[in-house]
Amino acid sequence: MSQRTITVITSSRADYGHLYWPLVELQNHPDIELRLVAIGPHLSPEFGRTVTVIEGDGFLLDAKIECLLSSDSDVAMAKTIGIATMGLADYLGDNRPDLLLVIADRYEMLAPAAVALALRIPLVHIEGGEASEGAIDHAVRNALTMMSHVHLTPTELSRERVLIMGENPARVHCVGAPSLDHLRRTPLWSREETSRELDLTFGDPMILVGYHPETLAEDTLAGADEVFAALEILAASRQIVFCFPNADAGSRALIERSRSFCGAHPKASLHVNLDPKRYWSLLRQVDLLLGNSSSGIMETPSLRIPAVNIGDRQQGRERAANIIDVESERTKIVAAVERGLRPEFRASLEGLSNPYGDGRASQEIVEILAQIELGPDLLRKKAVDPNAVTPRLSQ
């Protein structure tokens, strides 16, 4: 049997971190030819040109498609989708794989999905059925679900959501979140190695900040003033470590604000690019994660560290007991951090189970992709019979 070709699209450090171990498995599978395509922020020097990380990990890129506009607006986001669509149409028109794989909910992923639909290329989607109701990501993810033919969900609840959207149950598989495979399979650094590699001194409690623009709000930085006001209070006796925000409208303003904060606080630092090994090594050592990143919801439970989730960007996601939800108001943010740092709260997380899996998703994902029956029937999606759909989700 000849190899089947699977093209994977990655747009940024965020989705690459989730895709790393599936890519390893795809690359090593004897019946699969992997084609990897990098787009968007991966090629931007401003966001660390993370395409070099991919190549440094030993992956051969089949294409690099420039599409990210150097702008900080929602119009630039919309134009980026259009530019990506044009570039991917040329590439995929000439290099049509058996399957096209995308992940999660980044707006750039609308481009490969639209191109695949027009070119009759079956689409595989990882992490459908999730919810992030306070961001455009939620609508993007659901759009990708409706455009996809195979679904690899992170939880049973997300699988049920995809089924309620009318997808064929035989094509909807609960596999877990592949990002968690790093904790089981990636050789992470010790505290001493993390300190040396990231130029950090562990002493005072360390707070890792992963805060992104609120893309559904008219003012995507509406909550930033309160967040930074809270950080001013917390920095008096804590170390603050910032991760770069996603490349969304308002991200550049957040970057500049973070740089100014670090310039005024000697125990604060900003990291442009934390590849998966660096990020997980650091996450394992910090005392608390603060912000509105999906990492707080999906990944911190596996490490049993507190995560203070600000605002409603991640509203709708399943939560473990380590998540402390708080409004974007400085006194409430500070109080939530103080609660999370109390020894008794950390002790309460002993034995915590992560609803997003146990770090064994990648092998299952690739075995499913290796066995999918290809052909015209894979592109056919049946209409939903409303009488046959039984809502099982709580309101």
Tell me the H-state helices in the chain.
13-28, 51-56, 74-94, 110-119, 137-147, 156-164, 181-185, 191-198, 224-234, 251-264, 276-285, 294-298, 300-303, 330-341, 343-347, 361-371
201 in any annotated domain: yes
Domain assignment present for 387: no
95 with 135, same domain: the answer is yes
Residues 122 and 22 in one domain: yes
- Tell me: do 214 and 160 sit in the same domain: no
Cα-based distances in Å from 330 to 13, 250, 298: 29, 20, 24
At residue 358, the pLDDT reads 95
Distance in angstroms (rounded) separating the CA atoms of residues 272 and 274: 7
User: Does one domain contain both 171 and 241?
Assistant: no
Same domain, residue pair 83 and 218: no
Closest CA to 134 of 323, 325, 273: 325
156 part of a folded domain: yes
Is it the case that residue 273 has pLDDT exceeding 90?
A: no
**168 plus 261 within the same structural domain:** no
Any domain includes 390: no
- For position 394, what pLDDT does the model report? 45
The answer as to whether 395 is a domain residue is: no
Average pLDDT over residues 117-132: 97
User: 346 pLDDT exceeds 50?
Assistant: yes
The span from the CA of 332 to the CA of 310, in Å, is: 10
CA 352 to chain centre: 22
Confidence (pLDDT) at 143: 98
Residue 280 reports pLDDT greater than 90:
yes
* Number of structural domains the chain divides into: 2
Q: What is the pTM of this model?
A: 0.95
Confidence tier at 386 by pLDDT (50, 70, 90): confident
Q: Are residues 163 and 248 in the same domain?
A: no
pLDDT digit string, tens, across residues 292-340:
999 999 999 999 999 999 999 999 999 999 999 999 999 999 999 999 9
- The mean pLDDT value of the chain amounts to 95
Each residue's pLDDT tens digit, 8-50: 999 999 899 999 999 999 999 999 999 999 999 999 999 999 9
SS3 call for 113: helix
Please give the Cα distance from 216 to 138 (Å, whole number): 10
Cα end-to-end distance, the chain, whole Å: 47
Arithmetic mean of pLDDT, 329-355 = 98
pLDDT at 345: 98
Instruction: Report, as an integer, the average pLDDT of 336-348.
Output: 98
pLDDT digits (tens, 9 = 90+) for 176-227: 999 999 999 999 999 999 999 999 999 999 999 999 999 999 999 999 999 9
268 found inside a domain = yes
CA angle 142, 146, 147 (to 5 degrees): 115
pLDDT score recorded for residue 118:
98
In angstroms and rounded to an integer, the radius of gyration of the C-alpha atoms of the chain is: 21
Q: State whether 230 and 323 are in the same domain.
A: yes
In this structure, the answer to whether residues 154 and 257 fall within a common structural domain is no
Give the per-residue pLDDT at 298.
98
Q: What is the pLDDT of residue 1?
A: 56
Residue 183 placed within a domain: no
Q: Are residues 250 and 197 part of one domain?
A: yes
pLDDT tens across 63-81, in order?
999 999 989 999 999 999 9
Residue 320 lies in a domain: yes
- Say if residue 391's pLDDT is above 90: no
What pLDDT, on the 0 to 100 scale, is given for residue 395?
A: 42
Domain CATH for 164: 3.40.50.2000
Residue-range definition of the domain harbouring residue 307: 190-347
What is the number of alpha carbons within 13 Å of residue 127 lying toward its C-beta? Answer: 27
**Judgement on whether residues 129 and 204 belong to the same structural domain of the protein:** no
Tell me, yes or no, whether 342 and 372 share the same domain.
Answer: no
Two tokens at 352?
């915590």
pLDDT of 364 over the 80 cut = yes
